[in-house]
Amino acid sequence: MRRFPAAGARRFATLNHDALHALDSHLAADPVRAGLPAAAVRGRKVRLAELMGAEPYRALTGRRLVTPPSRPLPPELARAVIAAATRARQAGEARDSVQTSPSP
């Protein structure tokens, strides 16, 4: 059985165990697709090594590692933040459409 990283994540899964096993077997049988996950991991490791060569990324990573976990937003506060972001986005889209409209 596949493990899901977070409690409650299984309810978001849309495939059952047998379907996932069949899909994994099918992908593993294809020589081109079988190497894709390993290539993706190698690519991410190379990119991380490149980023860690730059001081701003090392500093950001260090700050991220020492920062305690955040707490989830209560639903009412989350709705307020989402509403503010939506209004700001709509105002920006309206402003952009006014600026890009041709002058008569």
The model carries a pTM of 0.41
Tokens representing 36 are: 């894709």
Tokens representing 80 are: 């307020």
Tokens representing 40 are: 């993706």
Specify the pLDDT at position 10: 57
Q: What is the largest CA-CA distance in the chain?
A: 65
* Phi, psi of 91, rounded to the nearest 5 degrees: -65, -40
Contact indicator for 59, 41 with CB cutoff of 8 Å: no
Q: State yes or no: pLDDT of 89 exceeds 80.
A: yes
DSSP result, 60-79: HHHHHHHSPPPPPPPHHHHH
Instruction: Write down the domain spans for the chain.
Output: 7-67, 69-99
Specify the pLDDT at position 99: 60
Distance between CA atoms of 27 and 35, rounded to whole angstroms?
9
Tens digits of residue pLDDT in 14-68: 666 777 777 777 777 778 777 888 899 999 999 999 999 999 999 999 999 999 8
Q: State yes or no: pLDDT of 86 exceeds 50.
A: yes
DSSP result, 82-94: HHHHHHHHHHHHH
